[in-house]
Structure formats: structure tokens, C-alpha cells
Chains A and B, each alone.
Chain A
């Protein structure tokens, strides 16, 4: 079953914007080739995690092996690689693409090309893919295949004259897609007799099997019982099972060049398997690893705290379970005066952060509060030391800092002409540098360099709001550059609230500091003493608000019969103070800080 000649294998991925029909098309391909019967078919088979289904986002790469008897009389093996669908997983996407020779570019014939599509097409072109344009939703009255075809040619520079017109929803012309794959995609290359060289595409934790590794064989053969070696970390494992996805897991004896499939080898955590690593034979290793391996590094960090302090242990256990399956997610314990015990967590990006937070909330039933996301800064100290910091609270005193470098991104934003002005204003406010501005019909494509720091702070929300939801956005990391950055501390009653401190460009410091002070003034109830709230850079106060002391709080009537009741009330009030955080002589309800952080998001 796996001795398929290279000439009859096609490995492909599907590139599409969210909602443009990638998953529906995948379902149709599976159905049409009979990989699953109609009864077995669950809609969007590939997105099996609840959250993935709901938001149409694929987090893990997955493959399905399809068998297709083509019109030329030959039967082909078509390996569909479903790639993670978001920029946060850009590296994972690049590895998935590296496992294929071609891509289907699915574009909604009524919507046209979106920013995310564009970025992924470039990734596919970088991977040397042959690209087959597919116009989906051709059955919709609003479909404009000619315009979209032109757009693909203008924006991407691809010849779209042979674009396959389909409706994944109705099943129209799925055959055309299958034929195009066979005829237009090149077969994989590989040497069955060379030492084993397999690309580790992705891995996940299965409660029964342990870690399952998704591989693409480049050279040699992968066999059950083989001792394999991970070339990046040097670990060796005994292969217990090799198989393919049909899409169910089907064990096979071995996998040969050009094939995709899985292996498991009693590996306990995905942290031991690095996406992009090269798997080789321990006794007969390959001379060199496959190119392009990068260890995964968190880009965005934030604190996650249980709202109920009693959930701290549960949070640790839950995050441990998540990490079993997501090695790109990092966490370490930290303590905050305002929020209590929690964890500092690292993510590949904002979406990744959101997904993890949502999974913790949903699958583990935890009530969490997240501090403002922070990026990773490179701080050069005056003593010559260079440190990487992602928690504003750890930032050294300003006098000890020589300079700070911050990460930049290259963002691609596509937006209808009408909203372009507001989008450009937003980018400029966020210190954006325009790289390119082009038009396709009535849609504009703006390419900007932006500091990531400005993007993690409510950029998506603002972009959505200024474009009434019409802008699409994608980004790639684009190096580090020195920035005039300052740490803004928020002081309540003259004591810093670590959870609220943040980094900002000097030009935005006062505005953002003032906004937080004003918000806290709204949120913190008046109490016995007046409470100064300040935003400061080092020792210099840049914004200040004062919550005045409450003016009156006393029981009017209190006589002999009221004593017991009043005392019990007092006991209750003291009990309620457990949810308060002490700042000198004032106590602030934790709920005020939580509300302040929520408004940030």
C-alpha cells in the first residue's frame, strides 16, 4: 500500500482565507474519493477540535490520504495537507508547505483575494509550489469570476486563466479539482535507497498513543521497529507504529519517499518533537538535515491569573495538559500584588494567545484574567549586558538602559477604498512605515512596517472598527529595531501595580497613561482615604487622577438592639476583604483591576 511510485503521488495543501471554503472543499474531496462514506462524514472532518470548528481555524497540521482513479486510467495517491490557518503559526505553515509540491489557491469568487490568502500564497511560492487557482462559490449570484481571475493575476501575478471554477458547497466540479491536481502538480522527488530523511511536519498528543508525529518522507524508508533519531535534539526513539490517515489512522509496514503519514514511538510530550526537525535512521543517519529548521520562540507574552485564587493549582495542571499538545506555549509561575498568584505565558502570536486562553476557559472551566500582552524586547544595558525581556515588570531602571530594540512586523492590509484613509491614519498613529500601497479595482492593499508593540495593543479591534469589519490583515515578523521606548508604571496610592505596567513609545506614553488612570478612577470605589492614581516613567509622573475619600458612610440609628447585627455585618465586611488587594492604607477590590484589564482587550 505504500509502494506507490513517486509518479503517482501528489502532495498538496489548500490556501484560503477564512470562510472562503477551504474546509468545505476538503470535505468534498474526501467524499468524492470515497475516503469516508457519507455516513462517516462529519462536516469539516479535518477541524476536529471544537474551537477550530467554531472559528474555522486550523491549529494543527493534518493530512488525508486520498486514492483517485484519474481520467488517464491510473490511480493516484493524493495527500492533502491541511495547514494551520493563521499567521501566528507562520513557521508551522512553512513546514507544512515544505512537505508538499503544490497548492490549491481557493478564492471566494464573490469576495476576491484577502490579505491572509496573499501571505500564504507567498509562503507557498517560497516553498517552490505549483499553484492551482480555484474559484469557489461560483454558484452565488454575487460571484464575479472574471473580476477575481483578473485580481489574482494583478495582485499575485499568477496566471488564472485555467482557474478551476467550483462550488464546494454544492459539489460542483470537484472532479475538475482532482484532475487539475493530477495533471498540473509535479510528483514528489526522492531516493528510496538513500538514508532516511523525513520532515517532522507536526505532532500532537493522543491520550492512548502518546505523541503522534506527522511526517513527510523525503528519502529512504520509515519502518515499524526502526530506531530513529531526531537530528535537532539528538533523541532517539523506537518506532512502534507507522501509518497513514485515511483520514482514520491506518497502520502500514513502512512509508517510502514522497509519502505522508504518521509514526508513534512512546514519546510522552510534544516538547520532545520539534516541528521542522529531520528524522533519520539512528544506525544509518543522513549526512545533513533538511533545511529551514527553527526552534519555536514565543513572540507575545502575558500574565494569566485565576480569578479565584483557589484555581491556581488547577490552572497549572490545565496548562500542563495543553502544553502536552502545544510545545510553542510557554508558562512560568509569577506573583502579582494586584492579581495574586498566576503564570507568565508565552505565545506565537495574538491568536495563539486567544486560543490558549479560550481553551483554558472552555475545556478546563477556568475563570481567567489576562494582563496586557507584551512583546519581547532586547535591552542593552549601560554596563554592556544585553537581555531579552518580555515582562515590563522586569525592565531595569531607566538609568541602567542604554537602548531598547523592539520587534517589527510587516503587515499586509487589504481594505475597500472607502476605508483606506482611516486605515492609513491608524497605521500612522501606530508608528507605521508605509512600504507599498497598490489598488486592485476598488480594493487597496497597504503594506506597512509596524512595531509589534503597537499591534498587540488593540490594533485588530481598531482596524475592524475603522473599516467596519472589511479590512483583512496579515503579518510576518520583520526583525528588530531600536525604539524610543519607556516603561509606564501605574501607581495606586503611590505603590506600583505590576500587572498594569506596560511598555510604550515615548510619544504615546502620556496618552495611554492618562487613559488608564481615568479608567481606574471610574472603576475603584471611593473609600476611607483618598487614593492618588498615577502613571509614571521612572520617577516622573506623567498623568494623575485622585479618587476622593468617601464623604459619608455611617449608620444613622444604632442602639442596644442593633449591636449584634452590626457586629456580624462587621465580621462579614472583614471576610470580604480577602478579595481586596492592599496598597498601603487602602484596599482595592481585585475586581477593579480585572475590569481595567478587560477593557484593555
Chain B
């Protein structure tokens, strides 16, 4: 049986950040009991379809899942453990914001079974935090990190860089301060402008400009250098970890494994009988999702069996983000077609010659080099047939 990961989406935030295009919503009040029941209901329904399988990980994302009642997390974790075969060290991650309110609830989440915390720090610079529309300051961020480090066996946090006007030296300094806070995992994202966000409007109006590509590339290289000095290695385009501390849950996505997605707008990839791979999506609007689950037991709005070439594209666009690259034999089995039919051999050779792609010794794998990962979005359309 294919192992699977479980993702739970909590769609609510205290406020909407100007850069964020995730499925998040601000609501005055949330009926936590109804939400808990609905999430549990959808989980049971999907578990029934999936069958009993090894469970890789649980991940509470959002939105701001640290705003959910810790009891909800506890109930979902417990339910997942009964529905699937969970190993002793099951990775259970919660995303949280470093505001003082949430900081006070962290112990309860640890109690509920969360053993890995991912804090949305975003910056240690006050001006940058204001620009990013965050509700915490640098002092709160450091306090939250301290509490989290004491509570959770594993800790990660996010930073956003390549911000308007950000100089390389300033970023290196900020990053060093962050690295000294002794997390075993960091997600370091370059700021991008997503359609439909407040930043998209402001950027189009010329309110601010992002660094030019050459400068952004230099910042990326500087980032890997600084992280490397602290023993954190880039195992994915934007993710850095001490060896062994990688996010198992996210690796499941990037390795194109099965995952269940529960909650509004959550996506799911689940292998089914006869070698099919089903892509499922759910209603994005929180109230509609809730009403549908309460009425039908689920809020699925679309489901398709992915054709082999589509799977191949998905597997490669995810897998080449990883430093380890893809295992071509596993890819062929997972996607149901020969790897050689998925890529243009001439472009594959050109990318290898240019040092964008390589086949590590030992064989059986293809991976993007650091240079290749930096240009992955340009490489995929020419590489894939």
C-alpha cells in the first residue's frame, strides 16, 4: 500500500497579509465545534476511500492553524492514528504565527500531539515586518522562537527576502541572526507578487519594485552560503535543513507521493485501484465547505484521474525542486509511462551540458543542480515534451 501524508487546512487568519494568495479568510468568530466535526467527518470519509495505509505525516496548514482550538488538532491527530498505521515518530507539523496570543497556546498544541512547529517569522527587521503586513514585531518573533524551541523537538521558521530595496549585506546580517536562533529547518522564500493580492495592485501601480533578476539570483546564492555555514543545506528550492531534519510531509509532495487534503480548498493526490491516480479538490469558501460536509459528508468539487503525461509533468515539476532530484524508475512506475517519452532528449542533453541537470553517480536518478534549480520554471517548458 502506498503510504500517505495528511494535510489539514485551517482557512482562517486574524488578518490577510498583502503578499499572501493562499486560501485564507478573516472571520469575526468561528464555531470550533462544528469545524472540528466537519474536519473529522471529511477525514473519515477519505480514509474509507484510501483504505488502511502507512501514515507518513500530518500537517496543519492555513490560514493560521494555530488559531484553531488545540482540541481540534488533538482530535484529528488521534483520529488519523486510528485510521492509518502511524509510526512511533510520526511527524506532526503545525504552522503558527509568533504573536503573543498564539505563543500562549503553543503548549496546548504540543500536548495535542504536535511535534514540529513552523513559525511564520518572515523577517527580523521591523520595517520589513510592517511592509509585509505582519501583526508581530521582531521581539515577539524571538520570544516565540524561544518558547517553541523549549516545547517542540523540531522547529522551523519562514523568512521572506529579496524584498524591495533589500541589500545583500543587510540580508546576510538578518539571516545570520535568524540562523543563530538554532532552528533545524528554515524556509527562505523570495518575495513574489501573486495575482489578486494587495501587493499585486501596489506593484502594478509602481508603489514598489522587486530586485532585478540578477540581484535576486545573487541574494539566492548568498542565502545558500549563509545557511551552509550553519549546517543547513538546501534540500529544496526554498527549504534548508540539517541532514535528517527535512520536512517529511513536504518531501511527500515533492517526491510525488500520495496525500490526503482535508478542509476548504485542500488538494489531494491518491492512488486508487488499477494504477489510477486521482486528483481531488474541495470547495474553497469556508462556509460553503462546512455546509457541504455537513450535508454530504464531503465538499469535493472536482476529481479527475490523471493521465500518465500529466502525472509525469507533476512529478517532474515537483521532483526537480529537490536537491536529490527524481528516481526515474520510481517515476515510471508512479506515472505509468517511460521517462524517456516525457522529456525531449535534445533539450535534456543541452541542460546537462549547460550544468543545469545531472545524473548523480550510482545511476537511476536525474537532478537539477543549484544553477538548474534557480531556473527551473524556464527549464521545464523546454525540457518536457
Contact = CB atoms under 8 A, between A and B. Distances in A.
B217 A551 contact: yes
B237 A556 contact: yes
B321 A558 contact: yes
A568 to B, nearest CB: 10
Contacts of A573: 380-381
Interface string B247-259: 0001001000001
B220 interface: yes
Given A563-B318, A570-B381, A554 B267 contact: no
A439 interface: no
B291 interface: no
B110 interface: no
Contact of A559 (B253, B310, B354): B253
Contact of B374 (A551, A577, A587): A551
A550 B212 CA distance: 11
Contacts of A585: 346-347, 350, 382
A570 B317 contact: yes
A478 B12 CA distance: 82
A587 B350 CA distance: 13
B310 A552 contact: no
Given A558-B237, A563-B269, A574-B381, A552 B314 contact: no
B145 interface: no
Contacts of A529: 350, 354
Contacts of A552: 213-214, 216-217, 220, 374-375
Interface string A506-542: 0000000000000000000011110000000000000
A553 B261 contact: no
A317 B355 CA distance: 49
A555 B379 CA distance: 12
A564 interface: yes
A561 interface: yes
Given A558-B321, A563-B318, A585-B347, A551 B213 contact: yes
B310 to A, nearest CB: 6
Interface in B201-241: 213-214, 216-217, 220, 237-238
A563 B354 contact: no
Contact of A567 (B191, B268, B313, B373): B313
Interface string B355-385: 0100000000000000001111111111010
Contacts of B190: 556
B192 interface: yes
A560 interface: yes
A43 B350 CA distance: 65
Contact of B380 (A549, A550, A551, A570): A570
Contacts of B317: 558, 563, 566-567, 570
Contacts, number: 106
A557 interface: yes
A553 B214 CA distance: 10
B310 A554 contact: no
A228 to B, nearest CB: 64
B266 interface: yes
Contacts of A551: 213-214, 216-217, 374-375
Contacts of A571: 313
B281 interface: yes
A567 B217 CA distance: 24
Contacts of B310: 567
Nearest to B344: A585
A553 B350 CA distance: 18
B382 A556 contact: no
Interface in B276-323: 279, 281, 310, 313-314, 317-318, 321
A554 B376 contact: yes
Contact of A553 (B250, B346, B376): B376
Given A563-B269, A567-B310, A557 B321 contact: no
B20 to A, nearest CB: 10
B7 interface: yes
Contact of A528 (B192, B379, B384): B379
Interface in A585-601: 585, 587
B269 A553 contact: no
B265 interface: yes
A570 B317 CA distance: 9
A494 to B, nearest CB: 13
Given A549-B375, A563-B253, A570 B313 contact: yes
A556 B192 contact: yes
B84 interface: no
B339 interface: no
Contacts of B378: 527-528, 550, 553
B152 interface: no
Contacts of B321: 558
Given A528-B378, A570-B380, A554 B373 contact: yes
Contacts of B269: 560, 563
B267 A561 contact: yes
B134 to A, nearest CB: 17
A594 to B, nearest CB: 22
A560 B238 CA distance: 15
A556 B347 CA distance: 24
Contacts of A566: 314, 317
Contacts of A555: 192, 237, 376-377
A31 to B, nearest CB: 60
Contacts of B318: 558, 563
A574 B384 contact: yes
A379 B295 CA distance: 85
Contact of A554 (B191, B281, B375, B384): B375
B261 A561 contact: yes
Contacts of B377: 553-555
Contacts of A577: 381
A168 to B, nearest CB: 55
A525 to B, nearest CB: 10
Contacts of A554: 237, 373-377
Contact of B189 (A556, A570, A574): A556
15 contacts: A526-B213, A549-B375, A552-B216, A553-B375, A553-B376, A555-B376, A555-B377, A557-B189, A560-B7, A561-B261, A561-B265, A564-B314, A570-B380, A573-B381, A587-B382
Given A528-B351, A570-B317, 14 more contacts: A549-B354, A551-B214, A551-B217, A551-B375, A552-B374, A553-B374, A556-B190, A558-B237, A558-B317, A560-B7, A563-B318, A567-B314, A567-B317, A574-B384
Shortest Cβ-Cβ A-B pairs, 4 listed = A551-B217, A585-B350, A573-B381, A552-B217
